[in-house]
Amino acid sequence: MTPEHIVGIVTAALFGAALGSFSNVLAIRWHEEVDLGGRSKCPGCGHVIRPQHLVPVFSWLWLRGKCADCGKKIHIQYPIVEAIAMLLGGIAAWQANPFTSPLQFALLFICTVGFLAPVVMDLRWQELPVEYLVGLGVVGVGLRTAIAWYAGANLLVSLGSTLAAIVIGVGVFWLQVALSRGRWLGEGDVWFGGMMGAVLGAPALVGIGIYFAYIIGGLWAVAGLASGAYKRGSRLPFAPALATGTMVALWHGENILSWIRHGML
């Protein structure tokens, strides 16, 4: 690894942490339907949060998870999302050097860090930001098309493959919503499936993403039922599993496909 690549990883991790911090605010303000302008305030006492207390993760640790003004507990969501975003940003730059493969890096960065806001919304309020998911999908298609264009690939083939991937992503989840009349999955998951197709760009990769989403979702359900966090028959938030499955396909999909082709799986 070159020193330049290490600089790229550290920078991307810090940028990821900052975007994680923004994702927290975005999720909450989207849920409360307030606009994104204006400084962040403590929900307890309404004091504007000081700039030195806006440093991701570290401020939360420094303040021991409490507001500096009123002492109200700051939701654990904040440092957790910031820490995960930092990790995901670093991984994106580790997998694709931002200096030598900026488009691949942008795709890996946006399509991992960008999943945090919808995952938080699904976990906390069982709702998904549909327009945001569509936006991620559009950005994913744009970046994939640019990557294909630079690589000299046939753009029609590339777009056709993406379209097929979107149809499969939407179709699989729409079918489950229709069959269960919304008891297993919600409409938001159908949009998530479409976005998954758009950012992965190939039907085989969507298959891998869905496969891992169900394994992770299944383990999550078993753990949730065993710990009493969820009751039998209650709907589980599925976006965390969908996001993780999509990331597995983004990170390792091509490797997994080549293992399958060579009969190693």
- Contact set with Zn ion (CB under 5 A): 42, 44-45, 67, 69-70, 72
Question: Which of 42, 185 has the CB closer to Zn ion?
Answer: 42
- Can you tell me the distance from the alpha carbon of 239 to that of 86, in angstroms, rounded to the nearest whole number? 20
Question: Which of 45, 179 has the CB closer to Zn ion?
Answer: 45
Least distance (Å) from Zn ion to the CB of residue 71? 7
- Can you tell me the distance from the alpha carbon of 157 to that of 5, in angstroms, rounded to the nearest whole number? 32
Least distance (Å) from Zn ion to the CB of residue 215? 41
Least distance (Å) from Zn ion to the CB of residue 72? 5
Cα dihedral 137/184/173/264 (nearest 10): 100
What's the number of CA atoms in the CB half-sphere (13 Å) around residue 186?
Answer: 14
Question: Which of 72, 235 has the CB closer to Zn ion?
Answer: 72
Least distance (Å) from Zn ion to the CB of residue 53? 11
71 with 63: CB under 8 angstroms?
no
Least distance (Å) from Zn ion to the CB of residue 73? 10
Q: Which of 6, 200, 199 is nearest to 97 (CA)?
A: 6
What amino acid is encoded at 172 in this protein?
V
Question: Which of 5, 53 has the CB closer to Zn ion?
Answer: 53
Question: Which of 43, 218 has the CB closer to Zn ion?
Answer: 43
Alpha helices in 114-154 (DSSP H): 116-125, 130-150
Q: 3-state DSSP call for residue 184? A: coil
Total count of residues recorded for the chain:
265
